[in-house]
Structure 1
């Protein structure tokens, strides 16, 4: 008899994953941490948790990313949910970067796996990881400290980050959009546009929408509330509505995709840039120093939007 699709994870996949990870060891580790004390270092009273987040379930666990058991098991489980290899999948974000960023923001950073890779790729850049779960940030900081990486972790909502306009050269989001309503995704894209300097880049790594549309059973396997909406979501159109140009998507191991957009340079900014370029071209070596573009707030004018 066929197993009902909505039971595929519960009956077939979950037992396999449970066999592959040390659940008892993870539980002991979770109990060894004073979560309130550790999370209080990140918690901000002005951050309001939206209902779609506070009611989220990760593999059926109530509280989702606000539950210590989920936080400590997230990395061990996820490595089996991002075929063929989690690091290879996340590397697609690094490979898609077309700018030389000085300031990077990783939205919905979770336990910081992509955030750490961004810092390793651009050690001189200021890298900030933002997440709604202060518990997740506890794990992220532990990983960064163990790796000897200086990263700033911020408790906050990607819909409204509270950072000033044009604060970043690169904004990324990994495995975020499939877990949230599409209306929230649109809000986040507008926030990304606001946060980026002119010429800045946004990169979104997530499930492959084409694959999800073609393989209906995949949506049942993962049992994520918003996965169907995400599969039907026109990401390029939404990014274009937010103001992004030079849109492109690339398949990553068929099951995933990375989508890129660029905040275009306005006519006013182009005039400023040309003025700077003409001034610098009179120097002896004829090279343009990115620092001379400081008035535009961006060192990333290698991209054409």
Structure 2
């Protein structure tokens, strides 16, 4: 478990006859972003609640360590190392943003001077200085989310659990939140992120795990997960019918589209294979007007691994035109 911020083995949680988490293993290195994906009801929030000590795992779970602390015997020490931002904002709308921050400082038993210093620093860092004296109920969704994370940072946690932190935010606010999350990791913080936005996991996470029916369906980097799914291909488009016919007669294994004058070749998207195909085209004297590489995205991965409808996110295939 050296250099692991989170290490959970055989994590189980059942409610009646329903196994929400069925013996999953999770390991998260320090200073990284780990994303847990899954459809509604997959157990993402349950995993966060267990790892953040909000609820207990089943007695037959294996060892769970967070911040180097065994949750079964050192839960209080683990709590001191973590911060949690849940699906629903913990911001109190009846008081100002500054008062929300100072309240968190009091809960962390900081001195008045230290609490005010940290509050001022975080309000400036999250661009909330102008709104600090206004009731939090007047804040936009993005501002409330920034304040929520700022409140989480009052205790200087080294591990932060973000449970669907950008749900309901507009695209600009979501991208701003991504920048904040990246900055946290730059400072050495470990982020455990659950999300239903596949683009979000693709953009942020060093490693991604897909949770389905209480089990991990797959885990790896975004690129590793995409390679699990077939369907990658190279598409060649031609303008002149004669050039198209020449290419089609040479590349007999390609899928033809005579109306669009395109040929489609299977490809895993690797640099080595792309170079090989380009060399082959040059040797055959074939010059396409356009070459496009299509690879599966996380939408494809999510759908294939969970066999359920994916969230409607504007994830587009990666394309590289020549």
**The TM-score by the shorter chain falls in which range?**
under 0.3
TM-score by length of 2: 0.26
Larger fraction in helix: 1
| Bigger strand share | 2
